[in-house]
Chain A
Amino acid sequence: SQTIHQWPATLVQPVGSPLSLECTVEGTSNPNLYWYRQAAGRGLQLLFYSVGIGQISSEVPQNLSASRPQDRQFILSSKKLLLSDSGFYLCAWSVRPGVTEAFFGQGTRLTVV
């Protein structure tokens, strides 16, 4: 069966520090991968999606970047965190975009102080 792992679950980082959140998927090949952010009281905002290794699409200009060094690994990064980067970050994958549903990780609660 397929599983998705996202870590860490919670993170408190000072302003200006770097960020690296990792997501890995098991049990499937060539998935579509997604990073979403959920700010308090708001819906999920699509940040990045990837259809394959090294292929990243960015949805909004921001202080974050994403990389996909391996087929089932998706990394969200920042060189210098801002207070506005605080939020709940969710990684997700789907097999057949536009047809099948997405499966979500448990999320990372990031607080920038």
Chain B
Amino acid sequence: AQSVTQLDSHVSVSEGTPVLLRCNYSSSYSPSLFWYVQHPNKGLQLLLKYTSAATLVKGINGFEAEFKKSETSFHLTKPSAHMSDAAEYFCVVSDRNDMRFGAGTRLTVKP
């Protein structure tokens, strides 16, 4: 069985400061990992994905994540937060047939 844990339910940063959203996973296989973003009243948008290639993955809007197998982590980072980054972020682990979502992290960006 696989599972994913997002360590923070809510993260608040000031505009222009770095963002760190933490994610740990467990899987019996070699999983693929994803980060999705959901803006208020909108659908889910893929930010980036890891599928056993380079461990440092770059995504859209300046986000990136690093796959660390030894730590079973896939944390999402961005060097400088923008007001438009305020949203709900989901870490997802996928292997074989199903996809499991974390509980989500709500990112608030203060001016």
Give A contacts to B, CB under 8 Å: 32, 34, 36, 42-46, 49, 51, 57, 59, 90, 92, 94, 97-102, 104-107
Question: With A and B bound together, what is the CA distance between A107 and B45 in angstroms?
Answer: 13
Give B contacts to A, CB under 8 Å: 6, 29, 31-32, 34, 43-44, 46, 49, 51, 90, 92, 94-104
Task: Give the A-B contact count at a CB cut-off of 8 A.
Answer: 62
Residue of B nearest to A105 (CB): B43
**Which 3 interchain pairs have the tightest Cβ spacing?**
A43-B103, A44-B101, A43-B104
Given contacts A98-B31, A99-B32, contact A57 B98 (CB under 8 A): yes
B23 to chain A, nearest CB (A): 12
Question: With A and B bound together, what is the CA distance between A46 and B65 in angstroms?
Answer: 24
Are the CB atoms of B43 and A104 closer together than 8 Å? yes
Are the CB atoms of A42 and B32 closer together than 8 Å? no
Residue of A nearest to B27 (CB): A98
One of A46, A57, A98, A100 near B101 (C-beta < 8 A): A46
One of A42, A51, A101 near B34 (C-beta < 8 A): A101
For the complex with contacts A43-B104, A98-B97, 13 further pairs of A-B residues with Cβ separation under 8 Å are A42-B103, A43-B103, A44-B90, A44-B101, A46-B98, A46-B100, A51-B97, A97-B94, A97-B99, A99-B32, A99-B94, A100-B32, A102-B99
Given contacts A90-B44, A104-B44, A105-B43, contact A97 B49 (CB under 8 A): no
